[in-house]
Structure 1
Amino acid sequence: MAADHVIDYIGGSDEDVAHLRLMLRKLRGRLRRTWEMGAEIHADLVLVDRASVAGEAAHQRTLERGVACAEIWREGDPLPADRYLPLPLREDDLVALLDGFDPGSIIAPVPLISHGADFFVMDIGDDAGLQVDPNLLSAVPDGDLGAGAWQRGAAAQDLDHDALFRRDPMADDVRMLVPDSLGNAALEEREGRPTARSRARSETRRETTFEAEEPGGAGIADPVAVPQALQGGGPWPLRDYLRHPILAAPARLELMGLPPLVLDPKQESYDSPAPLPELELYCLQSLKRSDWQPLSSAEIADLHAAGTLRPWRRLLWMDRLLTSDGRLEPQFDRAGTFWITRWLDIIHDYPHHARIASAMMQPRRLHEIAEAAKATMTEVFDSVNAFHAIGDLRWEAKPRGEPRSA
């Protein structure tokens, strides 16, 4: 279901942005209208932290565009004149801000001054040909003669306007238009999206049915040594701790008042008293190695005796679901058939996506999965990518020559 309104947070830290995204998910039942994070250009409300350069620039843009804006306020700072949200972020403060937002209010944008033809000769350093309007001098402080008080004099009347629009004789020279070699600074960038030609070429070389392979294996920790890029203290995303042996023994993580999370790399399992949605923030930020506290031998024994360990493929699935951004991975054929090979127990954590998983227990086209689960295509794309990340996805490309379904 599409949200009623869009909010964007500019100028804050990555942790605060991720915290806001998580709070919007948790508060769906409390808010009068549904909200989601989105780009500034589509936002109904822009939350800015004016303590940063990006936040101050975004604040100016909202004034010029007439978009509703709320400022981040820290204790000890002067209260903003309009909407504000205190730090640290709290659920009650966010509910009060969003429920108090009036979508029908119209904010008058800051008027933009339109300059005439004199704009290009107002400050050229030639004071001899310029004269001052005496009627404006009384409104200008001493020693601060604004550029708006200058007007063109006789010298500006004699400008050679034809010379300004005369074509450069070298403009049509092919040597000036097309360089004969690339410069040393030229970079070659691979286009992420497949073209029609590359898609057709790849379909001639691959088999019809595919076993989706996700980078680094099917969500299992790589038994080889830790890659060079993952040596040191971090920070790294949670998925790197799951796919590589960064942790040598069971360790506990507990940050920012979030529920504790224990990883057991030998059994590739995790333990937490909280459901998956309450662990989302761990997937939306980078974690330092020092954030993890090793368990003692007694704690490890108690952990194994409790029998509460669950496979951490559930964490990998959730991580890819949250970072997919509603875009199907480029190696998949949108007209193909998709299904999963085994069930993932997410019905209590993500009941909506559990319906999508249920629809994927048999081969279906993407639009058929969305129709059967009463889901949007972006939600289906996220689920396909998530099951691909844990190695449970199979898919079959559309046979060549078969017409696409309407």
Structure 2
Amino acid sequence: MALTLGTTGMDSATEAELRAAFQQSNATRGGRWQLVEEGQADYVVVDMDSMYGPMSWLRLHAAGKHVIGLTSAARTQTDFRLERPISAAGVGLLLDQIAGGGFVAPTPPADAAPAPVAVPSGMSASPVRQDQLPEEMPKPVPEDLRARGVQAPKLPDSVEAGTLAPTSIAPPPVAPAPAAPAPVAAAPAAPRVHGLADWLADGALQGKLRYQKGTGPALLLDASARTYHGPAALKPLAAYFEGPVDRAAFGNVDDATFAREAAPLGAAQPLVRLQWYGGLLAGGGKLLPGFDPAAKYKLGKWPQTEREFPKHFRIATAMMKAPATLDELAAASGVGHEEVVDFVNANLATGFAEMVSDAPTDPNESQKGGLFGRLRGK
């Protein structure tokens, strides 16, 4: 029985390039695949990097199709992933993966360049820093999310010193001024309590480290490269974000041990993914302190949604349309209010989302920079 493949959500040049690579790969596999129209195909390739790719994926996913995401990103929410740039070798490995590995590729010459490795969606190799998508680049997380946007008022120097400033009016000569009471020593500030999400902030840790809680899975962190090796799923790590974590809980790992232990854990994943999950759990259905529950929120760019949380795609779609309140996002996405709040928290913590001010904008702002000024700001 022939396997059928279709395409959608891509421009004509990309489709022509993909068809050429498919024909070359299929010819070496006995023509067991057929390229058909989207509606007749068992598997459909969608350009997830295009403007309409995510919407095409949502439509096909609802129709029960097996979707292959064509993307340069390290992960995708589709069933399978085809890596950019398109090549016959990459398409061939994808076809073999879907077909169950029945085809054995011929052994390449010794001097041939290594072929790309086909891996399941969500477990692809992490790109180097300069190739990461802007929304996957790590962004500094505030030292304390609970104090975000709140600044302590500046006290007069005399109060900071624990004494009152002398009055400019001389005391009556008939009686000496009463002795000033001894300054009361201020109580020492409570030590800063760090959770795992705080340690994952850019610059908080350095080098190669191992973190494990109880009998849970080990996390190998390369803090300098901003990547980690661990389970593909996030939900098994929920307990890791509960309670304080001491710096001593992170054990240093030498390069050889790190490479040996990382191999069975799969490809490196961006560390910001763990930060995102920490933000998702931080509020427990309530907006993080420092943010207005009545304000509007928006996504600056499309985030990497996780397959473990399928409703997040609908929330992200609503947030990309226009700034909206939490209640408006819940109504537009059909998702519960608390789950919407948690998703907004996760993207606030990683810089994907922002709170939108209701203050009127300068009507002349668009004229100051002109077209090229606005393009430079993007």
TM range, normalised to the smaller chain?
Answer: 0.3 to 0.5
The structure that has the greater radius of gyration is: 1
Q: What TM-score comes out, normalization by structure 2 length?
A: 0.40
What TM-score results when the alignment is normalised by the length of structure 1? Answer: 0.38
